[in-house]
Amino acid sequence: MDDRDSPAVRRRDLLNLSAAALAGAVTVAAPAAAAPKTPEEGAEVTPPEDLMREHGVLKRLLLVYREGIRRIEGGERAPAQPLNAAARIIRGFIEDYHEHLEERYVFPRLREAGRLTGTVSVLLLQHRRGRELTGRILTATGRSRGARAAHPLVADMTAFVRMYEPHEAREDTVVFPAFREVVPAKEFLRLGEVFEDEEHRRFGPRGFEGVVDQVADIEKALGIYDLSRFTPGE
Ligand SMILES: [Fe+2]
Ligand SMILES: [Fe+2]
């Protein structure tokens, strides 16, 4: 069968058209001949959608930290194992992967275009500070801990949550929309494929979904997985 007729390729053509229209660059909509060779190469998720769903993982890990803070401040023993598992996902998935994508593909394009240069500098500094905090959280939760270690751990997790809530919100609402404006539609879709390939290279065939499952397991261990727990009573 001609691969141009495959559902994945038709979906890609639709994405080409919609992205081109959004960018006001209808002339660059790729003809079918430029379609990928295999369905796996189809750009099913655009770069901002990819990055934003990774922010969803980060948000859930911030909630894990919040639960750890709540327990320690309430006089309970620190749930070191779930907190350590959360910090390891933050290191491997958020810092080494997600922020690597931002620093390699998103921020340079904004700087080249002279867009949001001050914001980008702050975001880069926050990535560095985040890594310092994560290093300390990994150390504090990686061994059996006494009460003496609880205070700096709470301070580090609190600082991490406080920094990353506005960090990811600013990227979602300002940085990624600007990124979309400065990158031509065709390249935008190619980057979606680059992001997908990198995700599966690093995290295996299940990629993002596998990471989400790991986060869900941490939430279950802490008793915060059940969404209905967060619905206020009448
Ligand atoms: Fe970031
Ligand atoms: Fe981000």
- Give the C-alpha separation, 200 to 189, whole Å: 17
120 C-alpha to ligand 2 centroid (Å): 11
181 C-alpha to ligand 1 centroid (Å): 18
What pLDDT does residue 150 have? Answer: 75
Q: Which residue has the tokens 């979309």?
A: 180
- Give the C-alpha separation, 150 to 83, whole Å: 12
Q: Is the pTM of this model over 0.85?
A: no
DSSP state of 224: -
The chain-wide mean pLDDT, for the chain, equals 84
21 C-alpha to ligand 2 centroid (Å): 26
Task: Please check the confidence at residue 216 and state whether its pLDDT lies above 60.
Answer: yes
Ligand nearest to the CA of 163: 1
Tell me if 70 sits within 8 A of 210, measured CB to CB.
Answer: no
60 C-alpha to ligand 2 centroid (Å): 14
Q: What is the CATH number of domain 45-225?
A: 1.20.120.520
Tell me if 141 sits within 8 A of 83, measured CB to CB.
Answer: yes
42 C-alpha to ligand 1 centroid (Å): 26
- Give the C-alpha separation, 70 to 65, whole Å: 9
57 C-alpha to ligand 2 centroid (Å): 11
What pLDDT does residue 144 have? Answer: 59
Q: Which sign, positive or negative, has the C-alpha torsion 135, 141, 145, 149?
A: positive
- Hey, where are the domains in the chain? 45-225
Ligand 1 ion: Cβ-proximal residues, 5 Å cutoff = 102, 123
123 C-alpha to ligand 1 centroid (Å): 6
Q: Residue 20 contacts by C-beta under 8 Å, 6 or more apart in sequence?
A: 26, 27, 28, 29, 185, 186
190 C-alpha to ligand 2 centroid (Å): 20
Ligand nearest to the CA of 129: 1
What pLDDT does residue 204 have? Answer: 87
The more confidently predicted of residues 148 and 220 is 220
Task: Please check the confidence at residue 208 and state whether its pLDDT lies above 70.
Answer: yes
- Give the C-alpha separation, 205 to 50, whole Å: 16
14-45 residue pLDDT tens: 333 333 333 333 333 333 444 444 444 444 68
Nearest to 108 by CA among 175, 21, 198, 25: 175
167-196 residue pLDDT tens: 999 999 999 999 999 999 889 889 989 998
- Give the C-alpha separation, 42 to 32, whole Å: 12
127 C-alpha to ligand 2 centroid (Å): 9
Which contiguous run of DSSP H or E holds residue 163?
A: helix 147-170
The more confidently predicted of residues 217 and 22 is 217
